[in-house]
Amino acid sequence: MTAPTSDPTCYRLIGPTEDGKFSDLLASLDASASSLRLQALIAEWLRMENLVVLAGAGASVSSGGKTMADLEKQVLSVVKATTPLSPAVLSIIQARENEVSAGKPETLGFEGWLSYVASAAQISNSPLSPLSAVVWRGAATPTADDLSKLTSSLSKAIFAECALILPETKMGAASSADVPPHLAFLAKLVARDSNLGRAHLFTLNYDTLFEQALELLGIQYFDGFTGRADARFDPSVYGLDIYYPGEVAEGRVRRFDKFLHLYKLHGSIHWRVDDKELRAHHPNLSEFKKYRTLSHVDKAEMLVDFAERIPSVGILPTANKFAQTLTMPFAHIFRSFQIRLSAPQTFLLILGCGFGDEHVNHIIETALMNPSLVMLVVEPDAESPTIDRIRKYKDLGKRAFVLTPTEDAFKTKKWEKATFDDFARAIMPDVQWLDDFLRLRRFEKQIKANSDAGDPGTMAVK
């Protein structure tokens, strides 16, 4: 009688092996053994002294976010539906859509295109500029006023699309599999030995889902701003940490466990430009909950109605971010990214990224020269070009890995394995204090439910 075989693994961990080859480290294992080995490796990497995370658009998709390609389509469609729209602006947008639809490999990315739009607006509107207009290739020549209005419309449309709210934790949530992925990810991320270095979370996203999750979990963080009522950018806070006050008898302090550093590489919807300074203030996002369900025309009308309430946000990813005085914040943040990756004993975890930002790619490729750096890219597409990119990185650094679903697993259930959600909930090692948090949340909701029902009775805590 033939013994029953175990289910095959649904993951591939492609990377360098001990014999110098580049292959799947999980290929010969069944599902159970594959899971154990994968979690053991990730647990080992998470114990490295310097932990750096890079999160892209894929980290926000399950919460209503969009990939950069989808974001561009939505934003341009909404701006086109805005009235009145000058013929020059309309022709610029149409030229961009035609360029993207042609699908040429050398086509400029959305953020690169936005950079030129914002830079052209700055050149045309600066009182000291010797140029009064910019000739647009393949489109009508816009006036300075056209470019200012286009930049403003693009900024507001991006804001509205990225005004995401973290999903509610379900009443009966009992484990990391039942909570929003940002909660599971951050809880596990900071549950490291307190003697290790702090986690450094870099994100390319404009939304504030990470900030919302950090505050819900009670995790303290520094994001480059000082102050509460009217926070201002001050990069010196990235050199600070949080400690408990020492006891008089002990004469020493203790480190606060739940803490990390957060960096928004491309800006955020809660950043704004105020009197040539970069400031941070979290707006009310609740009124934008229905925005993403509307048609392009209705979205455009809503943006006109909300025009005064949408701040002048600092999110357009220009090559010379906010022209002159505001270049410093982004220079500091990108320099911090480079410095963190050059530190010894570094684990770089990349999630939800399509490697579409060449300036970010260059920093990563340079960092692979760091002999003690380990890089893991989590990629949900079994046929993604990212896999070939990581193979090429083998020549730069011997410790670059990519986690993907197997081809069979991808065909059976597309976009379910090796996503940000799957990694946060099912692959990262579980931690006890997330269970404690969920137990507390259930108790709070039970109290609220009884209070709403008018029952002041005493409840037992289980």
Phi, psi of 446 (to 5 degrees): -65, -40
- Give the DSSP per-residue string, 247-289: PTTT---EE-SSEEEEEETT--TTEEEETTEEEE-----GGGT
SS3 50: strand
State the Cα–Cα distance between residues 186 and 68, nearest whole angstrom.
23
How much is the average pLDDT of 329-354? 92
Q: In the chain, pLDDT over 70 holds for what percent of residues?
A: 83
Band of pLDDT at residue 232, cut at 50, 70 and 90: confident
Q: Is the pLDDT of residue 325 over 70?
A: no
Q: Is the pLDDT of residue 389 over 80?
A: yes
Exposure string of 299-330, with b = 16+ CB inside 10 Å and e = fewer, is bbbbbeeeeeebbebbbbbbeebbbeebeebb
Q: Which pLDDT does position 179 carry in this prediction? A: 85
Band of pLDDT at residue 338, cut at 50, 70 and 90: very high
Q: Which pLDDT does position 250 carry in this prediction? A: 61
Q: Is the pLDDT of residue 390 over 60?
A: yes
Q: Is the pLDDT of residue 294 over 50?
A: yes
Give me the chain's average pLDDT, please.
83
From 83, 108, 84, 82, select the one nearest 97 (Cα to Cα). Answer: 108
Say what angle helices 144-161 and 296-305 make with each other, to 10 degrees: 100
- Token pair 């702090």 is at which residue? 198
Q: What is the pTM of this model?
A: 0.87
* Annotated domain spans of the chain: 11-65+167-269+319-436, 68-161
Tokens found for residue 261: 């550093």
The listed range with the strongest mean pLDDT (271-275, 295-299, 449-453) is 295-299
Q: In the chain, pLDDT over 90 holds for what percent of residues?
A: 34
The H or E element containing residue 233 is: strand 231-233
- Specify the CATH class of 11-65+167-269+319-436 in words: alpha beta
The listed range with the strongest mean pLDDT (26-30, 44-48, 225-229) is 44-48
How much is the average pLDDT of 286-292? 85
Whether 263 and 335 have beta carbons less than 8 Å apart is answered as no
Which is higher by pLDDT, 171 or 151? 151
- Write the pLDDT tens digit of every residue in 302-323: 888 877 777 655 555 444 443 4
State the Cα–Cα distance between residues 379 and 388, nearest whole angstrom.
12
Q: Is the pLDDT of residue 51 over 70?
A: yes
State the Cα–Cα distance between residues 313 and 19, nearest whole angstrom.
51
Q: Which pLDDT does position 445 carry in this prediction? A: 58
Which has the minimum average pLDDT: 28-32, 409-413, 419-423, 452-456? 452-456
Question: Pairing relation of β-strands 254-255 and 243-244?
Answer: antiparallel
Q: Which pLDDT does position 462 carry in this prediction? A: 42
Identity of the amino acid at 447 = I
Q: Is the pLDDT of residue 12 over 80?
A: yes
